[in-house]
């Protein structure tokens, strides 16, 4: 899992570095459009284009039938039934490539969230860091320790939520920081990346220990130290502003990918 | 050719005229309304208040006549309308229901819907209902709005719900919290020594901590969608560290950590009135006073969320949101200082002052935003800090109070800079001054001793509000509010016994005896003046007016018990409350202050001259009922 995540992250980081000279929205628009094109090509490869075309033609024919034979109830009923049948066939033909595409697209979105979904911590603003344990915390045992990099103040002692098996701290970045928080738990040190200050960049989310969770939280290697379930920093959400409209980045991503797909559908001879 | 040259010259001249017209600075007036800014305090501290000092030297400084009685809602209603209380119909913080003798808010009232649809435990309002101001008269900014003069009115008292017009406005004093009160705080504790559950202005919630976790209910509004009007609650969960003096708080997806002795920033609580359909949001702040050995957690009153208000607190309706997005969330509750918690001993003076300074710094931030965005027309901006802190600090903690005055002086300085840059007229005014409140007068007890009020049993004196033991069939007069005495009038009061024909003679007797009242502790005269509404007011909107106003001498005031209709044992007690300064006295004892960067030309200016001054500055005619004159 670590290798897989690392490869994807490296590729995306390389892309991000490549387009870093341009506004973040431009790099985002290009990757969304590219994703749309790749989806289109994969869809063409995986789908039965001829049968999709035939199903579409049948649907159109029956729609025409409905308009022409408006005064003949028997024909209308038959056309309704046929329309439904060919619609279902069309959807069935679309389903297979859509299902195949769903997994890589979801994984891509999960990885891109670190670039576009989270903003670095704001300088001067407090943020909460939480470490979750796998087993109940012993109130008599010393609390885990947090050591922050220079430029990040730790404002509270460790606060143990025994009921949740979680330990939290309040931190406050004092300047731009790209560094690591160090946690000392039962004598072992675990780290978590921290990003603060202006500028869009790779902002890792939760760091987890289980391989399955690693699929959805792929930004940092899995935690190897025993006993720790995850470590999280509450980052501000980031919204993507394009054409003067700010929205969740995933909405813009889907819109741009669809526009690219629709525009290139004919030149690439893809039917859907 | 000559014709062409003449035509071109004329065109150029017209263009030049046109440019001059559009580039000329619009007329601008900035008014800072500083509640409770006392002229004597200013005179004693000019050295520490450089901006106010400069203002009085460059323009003018006068005492500003205040209303009968000199209470904030009464006085600000006069500032708004240019009418005296006889015109505005606001005579006290409190009015009474003459049928039940019960106290009610004088500023606004909520009316239930006229038609509803009942479905199971729910009741859906179909029409009617809402909240309305009880103040009569036309607000001066309505007249400006009619004349297309842009106005911004920030936190004007007695402007809830805000006057509907084109002006930008944010409601001030009188704006309720989410529970519909003037501010109800909650104190959470598991301290077995704390026995109280209900206190003035708040509740004490006794909680149990299990495995470091404690669930804290946050009370929201009464649910108007339910037949039982049950209070809607949000859930705040606290996690107490077993040893460290710190705790974590989670509510509706928000998570904060507080160390002992820290105030939180704003937290949002969602109150689900109709699950999935209607949710109201409120905002509150926490103060973690103590963690071990016992939890002591203070929660501020839950304010209406300016980002998503469920009641009208601004015009246009989304203006409160515009401000929240520019400045972050802010207090919307009419009186934001936590004086109630200080008075009840839940906050120390240092803790109270820390919160007060936060209120003041938020207020200064909003003033700066308003000044930065002021491009002509009228800007009115209200400060509550001096009033609320004078109540807590007057005469005993002068240096703490001076710090608050200094904060306001800073705001005055910024307004002066803006006025200098734009040529605006700047007026700084207050609604009343201040005096010590050392002795509390139980007016109902005095009425009883003088034979005007009778209890079912003379032994039944108590601090219980709402006249529980008054025998109305033998009572001629009663007191409610902070300056008013009412005749128990036949045909008006629920159990009235005094005929209208006998009323004035009775009032004369009461007035005579009030003026003769001496403090048994020191022999001093207690009442300086009494006022009859038909003699002191020009307006005749006297339906809600007390029949007589008591003008106390400095140092004396009606007791808190009097305000809510209680009849305690003694006539006068020492004021042992933390509320040590006040202004609900004789009008001449507590005048307000008036400063301007222009020369003040009117002799003996009064509050009702302020709107006349503003309207004259813009060349807008006064409303027929406005009685003032321009002070400039």
Quote the mean pLDDT of chain B.
94
Contact B255 A163 (CB under 8 A): no
The pLDDT value given to residue A1: 72
- Say if A271 falls within a structural domain: no
Of A57-66, A187-196, B369-378, minimum mean pLDDT range: A57-66
Task: Calculate mean pLDDT across residues B403-414.
Answer: 98
Residue B302 to residue B221: CA distance in whole angstroms: 9
- A158 and B244 within 8 Å at the Cβ level: the answer is yes
Per-residue pLDDT, averaged over B6-26, amounts to 42
Q: Read off the pLDDT of each residue in B92-118 and give the average, rounded to a whole number.
A: 88
Instruction: From chain A, pick out residues whose CB is under 8 angstroms from the CB of B244.
Output: 143, 156-160
Quick check: B269 pLDDT over 70?
yes
A98 and A139 housed in the same domain: no
Does residue A122 lie within any of the structural domains? no
User: Quick one: A44 and A98 in the same domain?
Assistant: yes
CA distance B503 to B501: 6
- B544 CB neighbour count, 10 Å cutoff: 17
Query: Are B213 and A234 in contact (CB < 8 Å)?
Result: no
- Chain B residues whose CB is inside 8 A of the A168 CB are 248, 255, 257
Q: Say if residues B245 and B260 touch (Cβ distance below 8 Å).
A: yes
In which domain, by residue range, is A137 found?
Answer: 127-233
What digits encode the pLDDT tens for the residues B544-566?
999 999 999 999 999 999 999 99
Q: Do A162 and B242 touch (CB under 8 A)?
A: yes
The burial class, CB within 10 Å (0-12 / 13-18 / 19+), for A230 is: buried
Report the gap between the CA of A169 and the closest CA in chain B (Å): 7
Whether A15 and A107 share a structural domain: yes
Residues contacting residue B228 through CB under 8 Å, at least 6 positions apart: B121
A241 lies in some domain: no
Compare all CA atoms of chain A with the CA of B264 and give the residue at the minimum distance.
A126
Residue B119, pLDDT above cutoff 90: no
- Say if residue A17 is in the same domain as residue A99: yes
Backbone angles phi, psi at A72, to 5 degrees: -115, 95
Taking CA–CA distances from B260, the nearest residue in chain A reads A156
pLDDT digits (tens, 9 = 90+) for A212-235: 999 899 999 999 999 999 999 999
Chain A: residue whose CA lies nearest to B243: A139
Residue A60 lies in a domain: yes
Among B213, B257, B258, beta carbon nearest to A163: B213
State which residue of chain B sits closest to A128, comparing Cα positions: B256
pLDDT at B13 over 60: no
Q: Are residues A6 and A112 in the same domain?
A: yes
Q: Which of residues 228-287 of B touch A (CB under 8 A)?
A: 239, 241-248, 255-259
Q: Domain check: are A27 and A85 in the same one?
A: yes
Assess whether A88 and A159 both reside in one domain: no
pLDDT at A79 over 80: yes
pLDDT in tens, B294-305: 999 999 999 999
Cα three-residue angle B472-B473-B474, rounded to 5 degrees: 90
Model confidence pLDDT, tens digit, residues B492-504:
999 999 999 999 9
The answer on A229 and A136 residing in a single domain is yes
Whole-number Å distance between alpha carbons of B463 and B460: 10
Whether A229 is covered by a domain: the verdict is yes
Which residue is closest to A234 within chain B, CA to CA?
B255
Model confidence pLDDT, tens digit, residues B53-88: 999 999 999 999 999 999 999 999 999 999 999 999
Q: For residue B588, what are the contacts with CB-CB under 8 A and spacing of at least 6?
A: B528, B529, B551
Burial class (CB in 10 A: 0-12, 13-18, 19+), B521: exposed
In A, which residues are within 8 Å of B211 by CB distance?
162-163
Find the closest chain B residue to A157 by CA distance: B244
More reliable by pLDDT, A3 or B367 = B367
Nearest CA to CA, how far is A73 from chain B (Å)?
42
Of chain B, the end-to-end C-alpha distance in Å amounts to 54
Tell me what pLDDT residue A15 has.
83
pLDDT at B1: 44
- Using a CB-CB cut-off of 8 Å, the residues of chain B touching A170 are 256-257
- Phi/psi region, residue B7 (left: phi>0; alpha: psi -120 to 50; beta: rest), is alpha
**B242 vs chain A: nearest CA distance in angstroms?**
6
Between CA B477 and CA B318 the distance in angstroms is: 47
Test A163 with B244 for CB contact under 8 angstroms.
Answer: no
HSE value, Cβ hemisphere, 13 Å, CA-based, for B579: 20
Write the residue in B242, B258, B259 that is nearest to A160 by C-beta. B242
Closest of B108, B109, B126 to residue B117, by C-alpha: B126
Confidence check: pLDDT of B438 > 80: yes
pTM of the model: 0.87
Distance of residue B249 Cα from the nearest chain A Cα, in angstroms: 10
Q: Where are the alpha helices (DSSP H) in A23-145?
A: 24-46, 49-68, 73-116
Comparing A238-247, B153-162, B493-502, the range with the smallest average pLDDT is A238-247
CB contact under 8 A, A160 and B212: yes
Q: CB–CB of B212 and A161 under 8 A?
A: yes
- A160, A170, A234: residue with CB nearest B241: A160
Q: Do A157 and B239 touch (CB under 8 A)?
A: no
Residues from chain A contacting residue B254 (CB–CB below 8 Å): none
**Token digits for B197?**
């559950």
Based on the domain organization, do A139 and A106 belong to the same domain? no
Supply the DSSP string of B218-284, one letter for each residue: EEEEE-TTBTT-PEEEEEEEEEE-SSSSEEEEEETTEEEEEETTEE---EEEEEEEETTTEEEEEEE
How far A140 CA sits from the closest chain B CA (Å)?
Answer: 8
Residue B25: what pLDDT?
A: 41
Smallest Cβ distance to B239: which of A164, A169, A170?
A164
Residues found in chain A: 272
- Token readout for A129 is 């860091």
A57 and A139 share one domain = no
Let me know: does B35 contact B384? Beta carbons within 8 Å: yes
Name the closest residue on chain A to residue B212, using Cα atoms. Answer: A162
Bridge-based pairing of strands B151-156 and B168-171 is parallel
Chain B residue with minimal CA distance to A169?
A: B257
Residue A270 lies in a domain: no
A9 & A103 share domain:
yes
What confidence tens digit (pLDDT) does each residue in B218-230 have? 999 999 888 888 9
Total number of domains constituting chain A: 2
Q: What is the pLDDT of residue B493?
A: 97
pLDDT of residue B368: 98
Cβ contacts of B257 on chain A, cutoff 8 Å:
128, 155-156, 159, 168-170
State the best of B257, B262, B328 to mutate against chain A, taking most chain A CBs within 10 Å: B257
Return phi, psi of residue B623, to 5°. -70, 150
Chain A residues with CB within 8 Å of chain B CB: 126, 128, 130, 139, 143, 155-164, 166, 168-170, 234
- Model confidence at B26, pLDDT cuts 50, 70, 90, reads low
Block residue for tokens 């300085």: B413
Q: What pLDDT, on the 0 to 100 scale, is given for residue B503? A: 98
Q: Does B215 reach chain A within 8 Å, measured CB to CB?
A: no
Mean pLDDT on B417-430: 97
Least confident piece of the model among A88-102, A202-216, B100-114, B421-435:
B100-114
Instruction: Judge whether A272 lies within some domain.
Output: no
CB contact (8 A) between residue B259 and residue A168:
no
* A159 to B213: CB separation less than 8 angstroms, yes or no: no
Is residue A155 assigned to a domain?
A: yes
Chain A residues whose beta carbon lies within 8 Å of the beta carbon of residue B239? 159-164, 166
Nearest in space to A129 (alpha carbons), one of A185, A174, A194: A194
Q: How far apart are CA B103 and CA B96, in angstroms?
A: 4
pLDDT score of B112 more than 50? yes
What is the C-alpha to C-alpha distance for residues A53 and A37, in angstroms, rounded to an integer? 20
Residues of chain B positioned with their CB less than 8 A from the CB of A169: 257
Please write the tens of the pLDDT for every residue from B344-353: 999 999 999 9
Contact B209/A at CB under 8 A: no
- Cβ contacts of B248 on chain A, cutoff 8 Å: 159, 161, 168
Please, is A18 exposed, middle or buried when counting C-beta atoms within 10 Å of its C-beta (0-12, 13-18, 19+)? exposed
Q: How confident is the model at residue B97, as a pLDDT?
A: 96
Read off the pLDDT of residues B578-615 as tens digits, 9 standing for 90 and up.
999 999 999 999 999 999 999 999 999 999 999 999 99
Q: Which of A101-105, B190-194, B330-334, B436-440 is predicted with the least confidence, judged by mean pLDDT?
A: A101-105
The verdict on B472 touching A (C-beta cutoff 8 Å) is no
CB pairs under 8 A between A and B: 59
Residues A37 and A110 in one domain: yes
Cα–Cα nearest to B539, from B625, B421, B442, B416 = B625
- Of B2 and B587, the structure prediction assigns the larger pLDDT to B587
């Amino acid at each position: 899992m670590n290798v897989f995540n690392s490869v994807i992250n490296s590729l995306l980081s390389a892309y991000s570095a490549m387009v870093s000279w341009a506004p973040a929205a431009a790099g985002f628009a290009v990757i969304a459009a590219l994703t749309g094109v790749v989806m289109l090509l994969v869809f063409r490869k995986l789908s039965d284009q001829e049968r999709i075309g035939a199903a579409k033609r049948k649907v159109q024919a029956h729609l025409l039938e409905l308009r022409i034979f408006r005064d003949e109830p028997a024909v209308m009923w038959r056309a309704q039934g046929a329309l439904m049948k060919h619609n279902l066939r069309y959807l069935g033909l679309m389903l297979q490539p859509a299902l195949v595409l769903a997994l890589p697209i979801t994984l891509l979105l999960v990885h891109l969230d670190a670039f576009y979904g989270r903003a670095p911590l704001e300088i001067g603003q407090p943020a909460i860091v939480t470490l979750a344990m796998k087993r109940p915390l012993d109130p008599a045992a010393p609390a885990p320790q947090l050591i922050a990099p220079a430029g990040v103040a730790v404002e509270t002692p460790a606060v143990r939520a025994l009921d949740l098996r979680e330990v939290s701290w309040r931190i406050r970045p004092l300047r731009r920081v790209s560094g690591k928080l160090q946690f000392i738990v039962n004598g072992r040190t675990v780290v978590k990346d921290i990003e603060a200050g202006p500028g869009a960049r790779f902002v890792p989310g939760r760091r987890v220990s289980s391989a399955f969770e690693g699929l959805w939280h792929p930004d940092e290697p899995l935690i190897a130290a025993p006993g720790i379930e995850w470590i999280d920093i509450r980052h501000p959400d980031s919204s993507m502003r394009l054409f003067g409209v700010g929205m969740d980045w995933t909405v813009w991503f889907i819109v741009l990918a669809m526009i690219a797909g629709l525009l290139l559908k004919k030149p690439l001879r893809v039917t859907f | 050719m000559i014709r062409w040259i003449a035509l071109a010259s004329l065109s150029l001249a017209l263009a030049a005229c046109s440019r001059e017209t559009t580039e000329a600075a619009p007329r601008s007036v900035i008014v800072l309304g500083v509640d409770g800014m006392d002229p004597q305090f200013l005179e004693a501290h000019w050295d520490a208040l450089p901006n106010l000092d400069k203002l009085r030297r460059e323009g003018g400084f006068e005492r500003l006549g205040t209303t009968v009685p000199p209470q904030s809602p009464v006085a600000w209603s006069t500032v708004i309308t240019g009418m005296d209380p006889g015109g505005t119909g606001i005579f006290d913080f409190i009015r009474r229901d003459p049928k039940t003798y019960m106290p009610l808010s004088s500023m606004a009232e909520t009316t239930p819907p006229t038609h509803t649809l009942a479905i199971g435990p729910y009741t859906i309002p179909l029409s009617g209902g809402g909240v309305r101001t009880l103040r009569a008269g036309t607000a001066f900014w309505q007249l400006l709005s009619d004349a297309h003069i842009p106005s911004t009115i920030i936190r004007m008292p007695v402007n809830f719900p805000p006057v509907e017009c084109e002006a930008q406005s944010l409601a001030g004093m009188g704006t309720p919290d989410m529970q519909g009160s003037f501010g109800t705080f909650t104190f959470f504790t598991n301290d077995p020594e704390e026995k109280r559950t209900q206190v003035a202005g708040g509740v004490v919630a006794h909680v149990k901590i299990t495995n470091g976790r404690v669930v804290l209910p946050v009370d929201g509004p009464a649910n108007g969608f339910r037949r039982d009007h049950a209070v809607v609650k949000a859930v705040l969960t606290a996690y107490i560290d077993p040893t460290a003096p710190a705790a974590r708080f989670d509510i509706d997806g928000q998570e904060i950590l507080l160390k002992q002795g820290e105030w939180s920033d704003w937290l949002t609580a969602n109150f689900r009135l109709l699950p999935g359909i209607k949710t109201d949001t409120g905002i509150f702040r926490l103060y973690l006073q103590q963690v071990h050995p016992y939890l002591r957690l203070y929660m501020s009153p839950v304010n209406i969320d300016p980002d998503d208000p469920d009641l009208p607190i601004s015009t246009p309706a989304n203006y409160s949101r515009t401000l929240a997005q520019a400045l972050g969330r802010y207090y919307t509750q009419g009186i934001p200082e936590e004086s109630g918690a200080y008075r009840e001993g839940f906050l120390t003076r240092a803790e109270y002052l820390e919160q007060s300074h936060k209120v003041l710094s938020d207020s200064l931030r909003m003033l700066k935003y308003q000044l930065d965005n002021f491009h002509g027309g009228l800007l009115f901006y209200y400060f509550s800090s001096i009033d609320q802190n004078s109540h807590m600090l007057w005469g005993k903690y002068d240096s703490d109070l001076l710090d608050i005055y200094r904060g306001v002086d800073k705001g005055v300085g910024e307004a002066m800079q803006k006025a200098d840059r734009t040529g605006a007229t700047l007026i700084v005014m207050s609604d009343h001054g201040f005096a010590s409140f050392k002795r509390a007068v139980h007016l109902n007890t005095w009425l009883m001793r003088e034979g005007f009020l009778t209890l079912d049993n003379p032994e039944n004196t108590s601090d219980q509000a709402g006249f529980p033991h008054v025998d109305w069939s033998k009572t001629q007069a009663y007191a409610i509010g902070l300056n008013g005495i009412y005749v128990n009038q036949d045909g008006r009061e629920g159990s009235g016994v005094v005929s209208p024909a006998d009323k004035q003679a009775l009032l004369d007797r009461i007035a005579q005896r009030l003026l003769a009242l001496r403090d048994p502790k020191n022999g001093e005269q207690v009442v300086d003046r009494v006022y009859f509404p038909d003699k002191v007011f020009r307006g005749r909107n006297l339906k809600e007016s007390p029949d007589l106003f008591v003008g106390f001498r400095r140092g004396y005031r009606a007791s808190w018990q009097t305000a809510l209709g209680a009849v305690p044992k003694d006539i006068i007690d020492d004021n042992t409350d933390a509320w040590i300064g006040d202004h609900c006295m004789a009008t001449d004892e507590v005048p307000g202050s008036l400063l301007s960067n222009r020369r003040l030309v009117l002799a003996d200016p009064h509050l009702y001259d302020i709107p006349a001054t503003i309207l004259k500055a813009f060349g807008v005619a006064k409303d027929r009922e406005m009685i003032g004159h321009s002070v400039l």
